[in-house]
Structure 1
Amino acid sequence: MHTLTNISHWAGKYFAPLVIAAAVFAYFFTELAVLSNAINILLGIVMFGMGLTLKATDFSMIFKKPAHVIIGVLMQFTMMPLLALLLVWLFGFPPELAVGFILLGSVPGGTSSNVMVYLAKGDLPLSVTMTTLSTLLAPVATPLIMYIVANNWLPVDPFDLFLSITQIVLIPIILGIIVNSFFSRGVQKVTPALPLVSVTAIILIVMGVVAANAEQILEVGLLVFAAAVLHNTGGYLLGYMIAKLLNVDPAQCRAVSIEVGMQNSGLASGLGAAHFSPLAALPGAVFSVVHNISGPLLANYWSRRPLKKISVRSETGVKRDASQRND
């Protein structure tokens, strides 16, 4: 198990270059397009692993600081779809890509965002709660957003989307929580291997989508990449700025920023391929590469930001030092 833990840690550390290498490999070996048929199964495995890591305490932030959680989740399901819509209009994407991009903006936060928040010295409980809540709301929120925003490009069946997200996301997470509740000791033994499972699943998803769209990538690849970068960085910036305007403390601003900016790209790819076309899955695959590069870079930047000591006066009139991140 120690060896497996080390491999899992290595895979998590080098996730970005592994995804890039897998995408390049799949571009030249289009036979790997067969992997796109297993996207939903792979996503279900990832979501089951997420459920295995959840505990009742992970929902405590909803009751301790409900405003912060609600603000973050609302930004997730409003700003990101609207930003995607703006980019679709600016880049003039064809219907399949347009729907894929709006779908990318309509899915919940990415599962790797919690690791990035931890590395960035952000508010980890808030991050976990936001990821969990947005994921649990996805079966209703994502189809509704898609029907309202994307139905102009291609027909959207919100009920079919609801069923797919329930099967891919909700049921595996609930099963994971149940298993963790009844077999917690056994789950603790396999927990170190979960990052490796998630990394492997996302890499296989990216390979399947890239291989299935190898010809189209030559035509639209750079545009999709540019739009994905703008969508990702726009989410970071808007999430942080709005949280700061609402007087949220710096650690929580970081959590909100990363949660809003990092999407569940695997889910976007899976839903795009299953409900629309292989091309609609491409934005999610490209975004997976983008945010697995930008996330560590942002986390590393924030982790190196110095602590600014400020002097505050307590109710008793005695001065004491308090630390605040100088972002």
Structure 2
Amino acid sequence: MQRLRQLSTFIGQTFALWAIVFAIAGYAAAPVFIPFKPAIPYALGIIMFGMGLTLRARDFAEIFRRPMQVLLGVVAQFLIMPLLAVLLVNIFSLDPMVALGVILVGCCPGGTASNVMTYLARGDVALSVTITACSTLLAPFLTPLLLELYAHKTVDIAVGAMMLSIIEMVLLPIIVGVLILASVVALSKGAIATSGLIIFGVVILHNLLGYLLGLLAARLAGMNSAQRRAVMIEVGMQNSGLGATLGTKYFTPEAALPSAIFSVWHNISGALVANLCTWWDKRHGK
């Protein structure tokens, strides 16, 4: 049991590396991972169910303790990222289905990994968890509405199934997540070959500008340092697993590709942001 726990810790700490490895494997050995496509919606359900098991009543108590801060985080999440996505796809004139994928991931709720990154960055974890939970519960309504507004496409999401997206485990989400990633990359091999660098650039800009504008919004709202970090990371990190699943199920593999890339990149950038925040605190004696 101790060895299994150590293995789980090791895989969790090196998740970004595993995601990169499986993304490369999905591109290089596409036929191996394409058969995983039908399992993607069910796999996401398992991951989201895992996240829900970790939530407690006290996570939602923050809504009543500081409603304005939670509200700002949720509004910033669903305002900044979709608008950034629309701006970027127009600037870079992306292929229509890839552009749809970028907008789709921008309309998704905050990613559960943001809670871990907020902890590592010495941010306000309670605020981060509450914003993630609230944005996830609102996703069945806001994600399709925002997608319809910005992409002129209607996505029907079963509210009951989406309510499963309240959760996170350790090993299972990682294993299932990298298989989803490899499968989406394999299915999108053609799009990567023709415009891969542009897609990567758009996704990276989307994520980094999300951090920046989230931090700015929190600063303008007069939040303290820990709260600013929580909002910054919440806004910048998306539930890209949801985006990949919706893109694959309702559109094309190309529409799922930006979410797949986002799932790799935001774990790398999130870790870098967390380390930068820690370095900043040490430098200033906090």
TM range (shorter): over 0.9
SS across alignment from 1:248: coil
Query: Which range moved further: 11-20 or 29-38?
Result: 29-38
Counterpart of 1:73 in structure 2 is 74
Counterpart of 1:62 in structure 2 is 63
User: Which of 254, 258, 266 is the aligned partner of 1:283?
Assistant: 258
Counterpart of 1:157 in structure 2 is 154
Distance 1:275 1:195 in 2: 28
1:170 to 2:163 alignment:
yes
Counterpart of 2:17 in structure 1 is 17
Counterpart of 2:173 in structure 1 is 198
Counterpart of 1:207 in structure 2 is 182
User: 5+ residue gaps in structure 1?
Assistant: 177-190, 310-322
1:116 to 2:117 alignment:
yes
Counterpart of 2:233 in structure 1 is 258
Q: Contact 1:147–1:157 at 8 Å: present in 2 too?
A: yes
1:235 to 2:210 alignment:
yes
Counterpart of 2:101 in structure 1 is 100
Amino acid at match of 1:8: S
Amino acid at match of 1:216: A
Counterpart of 1:268 in structure 2 is 243
Amino acid at match of 2:279: R
Q: How many residue pairs were aligned? A: 285
Q: Shift of the alpha carbon at 1:308?
A: 8.5
Q: Shift of the alpha carbon at 1:246?
A: 1.2
Counterpart of 2:52 in structure 1 is 51
1:45-64 Cα distance to aligned partner (Å, 9 max, x none): 11110011011001111010
Q: 1:308 to 1:23 in 2, by over 3 A?
A: closer
Amino acid at match of 1:171: L
Q: Contact 2:105–2:258 at 8 Å: present in 1 too?
A: yes
Aligned residues: CA RMSD? 1.6
Counterpart of 2:5 in structure 1 is 5
Q: 1:294 to 1:171 in 2, by over 3 A?
A: closer
SS across alignment from 1:110: coil
Q: 1:230 to 1:50 in 2, by over 3 A?
A: same
Q: Contact 1:7–1:196 at 8 Å: present in 2 too?
A: no
Matches for 1:314-325 after TM superposition, within 5 Å: none
Q: Shift of the alpha carbon at 1:289?
A: 1.2
1:219 to 2:216 alignment:
no
1:212-270 Cα distance to aligned partner (Å, 9 max, x none): 11122111111110001000000100000110111100100000000000001111010
Distance 1:172 1:234 in 2: 26
More strand by share: 1
Q: Contact 2:52–2:164 at 8 Å: present in 1 too?
A: no
Distance 1:224 1:202 in 2: 20
SS across alignment from 2:170: helix
Distance 1:196 1:30 in 2: 24
Q: Contact 1:212–1:278 at 8 Å: present in 2 too?
A: yes
Q: Shift of the alpha carbon at 1:6?
A: 1.3
Amino acid at match of 1:104: V
Q: Contact 2:16–2:264 at 8 Å: present in 1 too?
A: yes
Q: Shift of the alpha carbon at 1:198?
A: 1.5
Distance 2:160 2:236 in 1: 23
**Same amino acid, percent of matched pairs:** 47
**Following superposition, which runs of at least 4 residues in structure 1 exceed 4 angstroms of deviation?**
none
Distance 1:101 1:34 in 2: 24
1:265-299 Cα distance to aligned partner (Å, 9 max, x none): 11101000101111100000011111111010110
Counterpart of 1:139 in structure 2 is 140
User: 5+ residue gaps in structure 2?
Assistant: none
1:145-194 Cα distance to aligned partner (Å, 9 max, x none): 0111101xxxx224x2x22x641x31364xx7xxxxxxxxxxxxxx9xx2
1:278-327 Cα distance to aligned partner (Å, 9 max, x none): 11000000111111110101101111223698xxxxxxxxxxxxx9x6xx
